Chains A and B, each alone.
Chain A
Amino acid sequence: MDKPSDIAAAISALRAILPEQGLLVSEEETRPYECDGLTAYRQLPLMVALPETEDQVVAVLKLCQEMHLPVVARGAGTGLSGGATPVAEGLVLSLAKFMRILEIDPVARTARVQPGVRNLAISEAAARHGLYYAPDPSSQIACTIGGNVAENSGGVHCLKYGLTVHNVLRLKVALMDGEVVEIGGTALDAPGYDLLALMIGSEGMLGIVLEATVKLTPRPQLAQVVMASFSDVVAAGNAVASIIAAGIIPAGLEMMDKAATAAVEDFVHAGYDLSAAAILLAESDGTPEEVAEEIAAMRSLLEASGATDIRVSANEAERLRFWAGRKAAFPAVGRITPDYLCMDGTIPRRRVAEMLTRISEFSKTYGLRCANVFHAGDGNLHPLIMFDANVPGETERATAFGASILELSVEMGGTISGEHGVGIEKVNQMCVQFSSAELALFHAVKAAFDPRKLLNPGKAVPTPRRCSEYRLTGTPGTKT
């Protein structure tokens, strides 16, 4: 697709398929699509398609397949790993027009929605039935269900309520060759391989979601949160382990270090303890009796673990205020630094304190500040590395800092990504986490769905060549 005549032919064929103004080609029009939430990586696509019907999506895919035009699917563009970063010689397929909630079945407790429906919109639509969609990524006001499926998004409540993979029942998917398949179903299991599990978290590499049926969960009668301060992170880590050991699965279990607390307090004024080395938020939900029982149990465990201060939310307003800072941690850090990189490694919970110690050493080595917020209940860390892209060398140092954290996560028996996806950002670290044979199998899985490798090329799974160069020199080859 590099000859101007080919590009012109593609444009005219796409114009014939898409509605008026459904194809953007000028730089002015495509500029807003040059990056997703990972703004450090930017690339103008050849064009952006905005189909409005499933038939149009299928026709676009068939044409791209025929013309060997790479396709990058995009929802709201809130992803943090560059999964929706365009490719220069390809098309961005925006699902933004697919915003309809097709059906809410309060008896079966399901919602059937188009891929561009926002995560929070599902819960809002289900609220009058006392139901909601459980996964709640911090971007839930904006992020779409199609993107959630692509990334297997989590959220602060997934320790108890699961990730996207646990809450999606059925998908209608268009494959790259234009075939449409239905996988999963509203029955609890389907014959054959669990393609639903394979599709969820596949980062737009296997197919395009046209429709999703998701599970709705009854809204608990009451939720209450305990906020505890600790004078060191090791004690806070031990408190988390003691809660789990006591047989409690909190609805949310989150931690922030001192740097993160300072940044968010300045932003949301929630009344956080600024003297604490770490703050732990532990939520309980259920019937009022159940919550009272669990909160009392957690309170005494936190006290026994050496909490220096404990506060329990007295009402819903206070609960939301306690959470506000945690949910706004990324933008809060964004206010105190020109740029930041958000990491997403997951490690066994028992190694959290050790990891935090190593991160503070890295911080000195690379000469960059780092604030830590994390899902303490499941060991998923989000270190926020602060830097200034306008200072020569800082971007490179921040990237190297991030790579060190990810590679240490693998070394500790964890993973480079818990919920944000590999995308373009962590593709080199895949070479550290997986062997050549494992990566080869990923490529074979990809080939079963998309043999011409046109869907989201260059993301998530590195080529053997890229890995051999990365393993050899620590830097990827320029051409993959």
Chain B
Amino acid sequence: MNAVIAGFAERVRQAAAQKRPLRLKGGGSKDFYGGPLAGEILDTRAYAGIVSYDPTELVVTARAGTPLRELETLLAGQGQMLAFEPPHFGDGATVGGVVASGLSGPRRATSGSVRDFVLGVKLMDGRGEVLNFGGQVMKNVAGYDVSRLIAGSLGTLGLILEVSLKVLPRPAAELTLRLETPQVNALEWMNSWAGQPLPISATSWQDDLLTLRLSGARAAVAAAREHLGGELVADGPNFWQELREQRTGFFKTGSTLWPLWRLSLPSVTPPLPGSQLIEWGGSLRWVKSGEAKLAAETVSAGGHAALFRGSEEARSAGVFQALPPTLMSLHRKLKNAFDPAGIFNPGRLAQGL
């Protein structure tokens, strides 16, 4: 066994024996996300590096502590990318953190989320056992799909050691358009366009400005631009990057970043009250307030609200919507199957997990 992994296993076994929580941490760029942090830090960055990458296989395998920046640079060198465009939220973002947080960027509504691109994981469970699920191939139905279950589990099921991700070629052409329109129209248009064979790869609406990105074959992008109209945005790539990293005006205004609510909704949900930034064709709406009424409206629309950024105090009260009892019971049993001593990131995803 690799010496670093052996060291991790030793710590996990000790922690399990003493029932001491471990806080799994890469660069700490997503420490703000999820329930309060607890436990002694286990830094995954000791286990870093690209394990394998063959561009013609469309698969890259990297150790959890690999900087996301390093992985993205490697892929860009071969004209490829992580199609779910993970936000970094800081310089230190690691590959393990991308998968554990399950957060995707602007392309999510059209290309898919982190979990859609996870092909395999090497995981250390709460007993210190190294387990491999999935693999490095596109299609794999042998055994339960544990590797996708790990995406977004916020480190509560195990210590991610390595991940294999499907990668895609960068589009041959890309451009960004902007149209002026109120929210109700923007929602209608985004849903209508999504039902047509148009090469739209990202959408965003704020303050009566609807911004779209077109990506694909040169001819397809040119034809869609003609069809959709609007103004060409000169610094398109920069716009989407700043939006993804939440460095645009909407996220900066006021003296503080939070509280910031993330509403995940069916894309067709009519406009909700309050100042908002909309992404993902209407499926993702950011709101800078903690109104309970808004959360209730989100639920009744078939979505859910999460406190994306908030004070320690607010986070302790739970940042994600509570699960119905039967589902929560399944979650507890699954947690227990992976981490019987309950040592990994307790409370980060939900109280009791």
Task: Report which A residues bind B (CB closer than 8 A).
Answer: 105-109, 129-131, 151-152, 154, 158-159, 162-163, 165-166, 175, 179-181, 183, 185-195, 197-198, 200-202, 206, 218-221, 241-242, 244-245, 247-249, 286-287, 289-290, 292-294, 346-350, 375, 377-380, 413-422, 426, 430, 433-435, 437-438, 441-442, 444-449, 460-461
Contacts and interface: CB of A to CB of B under 8 A. Distances in A.
A402 to B, nearest CB: 15
B137 A347 contact: yes
Interface string B132-143: 110111111111
B138 A380 contact: yes
B302 interface: yes
A107 B143 CA distance: 36
A437 B138 CA distance: 24
Given A107-B195, A197-B148, A247-B170, 14 more contacts: A152-B141, A166-B112, A186-B302, A187-B304, A192-B328, A197-B149, A244-B57, A286-B220, A287-B220, A294-B217, A379-B137, A422-B142, A434-B142, A438-B133
A194 B326 contact: no
Contacts of B219: 287, 289-290, 292-293
Contact of A434 (B143, B284, B336): B143
A109 B200 CA distance: 15
A290 B220 contact: yes
B281 to A, nearest CB: 9
11 contacts: A152-B145, A162-B112, A187-B283, A188-B284, A189-B102, A290-B216, A348-B137, A350-B56, A378-B139, A379-B138, A435-B131
A455 B153 CA distance: 26
Interface of B: 54-59, 79, 102, 108-109, 112-113, 115-116, 125, 129, 131-133, 135-146, 148-149, 151-153, 157, 168-170, 172, 191-192, 194-199, 216-220, 222-224, 264-268, 280, 283-284, 302-304, 306, 320-321, 323-324, 326-328, 330-331, 333-334, 336-338, 349-350
A411 B119 CA distance: 18
A39 to B, nearest CB: 21
B140 A346 contact: yes
B223 A287 contact: yes
A356 to B, nearest CB: 16
Contacts of B112: 162, 166
Nearest to B218: A293
Residue among A152, A441, A460 with max Cβ neighbours from chain B (10 Å): A441
Contact of A349 (B56, B113, B170, B334): B56
Contacts of A290: 199, 216-217, 219-220, 223
Contacts of B268: 105, 107-108
Nearest to B137: A346
Contact of B196 (A130, A245, A377, A413): A130
Contacts of A192: 320, 323, 327-328, 331, 349-350
A378 B264 contact: no
Contacts of B267: 108
B330 A107 contact: no
B352 to A, nearest CB: 12
Which of A181, A417, A448 has the most B CB atoms < 10 Å from its CB?
A448
Interface centre among A293, A377, A415, A420 (most CB of B within 10 A): A415
Given A109-B195, A193-B331, A151 B169 contact: no
A444 B338 CA distance: 8
A348 B217 CA distance: 27
Contact of A220 (B59, B170, B197): B197
B132 A380 contact: no
B333 A447 contact: yes
Contacts of B220: 286-287, 289-290
A380 B220 CA distance: 30
A241 B265 contact: no
A375 B140 CA distance: 13
Closest 3 CB pairs of A and B: A289-B219, A247-B169, A197-B148
Nearest to A158: B139
A46 B135 CA distance: 38
Interface centre among A163, A189, A380 (most CB of B within 10 A): A189
Nearest to A294: B217
Q: Which of A241, A287, A289 has the most CB of B within 10 A?
A: A287
B137 A441 contact: no
B145 A201 contact: yes
Contacts of B131: 435, 437-438, 441
Contacts of A193: 149, 152-153, 157, 331, 334, 349
A163 B330 contact: no
A316 to B, nearest CB: 16
Contact of B138 (A185, A189, A286, A378): A378
A193 B146 CA distance: 11
Nearest to A206: B144
B145 A165 contact: yes
Contacts of B333: 447-449
A218 B136 contact: no
B142 A433 contact: yes
Contacts of B102: 189, 194
B223 to A, nearest CB: 5
A198 B327 CA distance: 13
Contacts of B302: 185-187
B317 to A, nearest CB: 15
A204 B266 CA distance: 28
A194 B142 contact: no
Contact of A421 (B141, B198, B338): B141
B141 A418 contact: yes
Given A189-B102, A245-B55, A437-B131, A197 B145 contact: yes
Given A417-B142, A441-B131, A221 B197 contact: yes
Contacts of B142: 415-417, 422, 426, 430, 433-434
B131 to A, nearest CB: 5
A307 B328 CA distance: 56
Given A191-B306, A442-B144, A181 B330 contact: yes
A192 B324 CA distance: 11
Nearest to B325: A179
Nearest to A348: B57
Most buried by A among B132, B195, B264: B195
A374 to B, nearest CB: 11
Nearest to A448: B333
Contacts of A460: 143
Contacts of A165: 116, 145, 148
